[in-house]
Structure 1
Amino acid sequence: MTATTRPILTSSIKIPGITMPGILQYFETLNAGDFEATANLFADDGVLHAPFEEPIIGSISIATYLKKEARGMQLEPQQGVSQILEDGNVEVQVSGRVQTPAFGVNVGWLFLLNSDQKLLSVTVKLLASPQELLNLRSHKK
């Protein structure tokens, strides 16, 4: 194998409706706690929109954030849909759950990928009642 050849990774994550390796690897690497690998799935100026946070821009900032905030999380994607946008980028919506050591919550992820399959943005939305969101916010503090 040459230095420029990367092994093809097979994912143990299966999401009905989604076959894009970058999306599957996002969930796989996060669940494995390999936050550097997760951050490397983003484009250089990629953005993570996490709940209760300002946008996190760039792979180094994303890796730093994930190391601090995502430890112990298990993402459980359940289904997804994708569409090609007019500009050639791909939008992917995935719904599922996130389990942390302290709580579990329904989540929606919105991914935007460029033509190179790099993540331009990931928006994580908590799908919870207002009271559940208040409880989560107090957990975070």
Structure 2
Amino acid sequence: MTLAKSNPDTNCLTIEGITEPVILDYFETLNAGDFEGTAALFAADGVMYPPFESAIAAADLADYLEAEAVGMTLYPQQGILKNLAEDRQIEVRVTGKVDTPYFSVNVAWSFVLNSEREILAVEIKLLASPQELLNLRR
């Protein structure tokens, strides 16, 4: 398994198949605990759809991440990018793994970017069996 890694020449995160800066910045800021920086990547009307939670508006995102994402490390592995006909939007799908202080789980992120390359939406799905998901409940 190849995990995303920093490129020693640029000290930037690399994800196989992804060069879109806002996607790379999303993972870098989250891993650095820069939740304000992560929230700034979203459009004003952007939304995060985390697993087991209601949608989180961009305006509330930094506070949500401060409460829920501390101690998480994201390891995006690979992704694909697709242009959408609608208003020059881009869909980006990334798969990888997340380590938390309590568990590790495979994850899929589905992003929609607007024409300004801001995040309109990101849906986060845990890739686990029903039994594994039950074991993750708090």
Q: Same fold (TM over 0.5)?
A: yes
Equivalent in the alignment of 1:69 = 68
Equivalent in the alignment of 1:85 = 84
Structure 1: tracts of 5 or more residues without a match: 1-9
Task: Answer yes or no: is the 8 Å Cα contact 1:16–1:79 preserved in 2.
Answer: yes
Distance in 2 of aligned mates of 1:109 and 1:11: 23
1:11 offset after TM fit, Å?
5.9
Equivalent in the alignment of 1:115 = 115
Structure 2: tracts of 5 or more residues without a match: 1-9
In proportion to residue count, which structure has more strand?
2
- RMSD in angstroms over aligned alpha carbons? 1.0
Q: Deviation per CA, 1:64-84: give whole Å up to 9, x if none.
A: 100000000000000000000
Distance in 1 of aligned mates of 2:44 and 2:120: 8
| TM-score in terms of structure 1 length | 0.88
Q: Deviation per CA, 1:5-47: give whole Å up to 9, x if none.
A: xxxxx66211010000000000000000000000000000100
Q: Deviation per CA, 1:58-116: give whole Å up to 9, x if none.
A: 2x301110000000000000000000001110000000000001110000000000010
Could you tell me the percent identity over the aligned residues?
A: 59
Distance in 1 of aligned mates of 2:64 and 2:133: 20
Count of matched residue pairs: 128
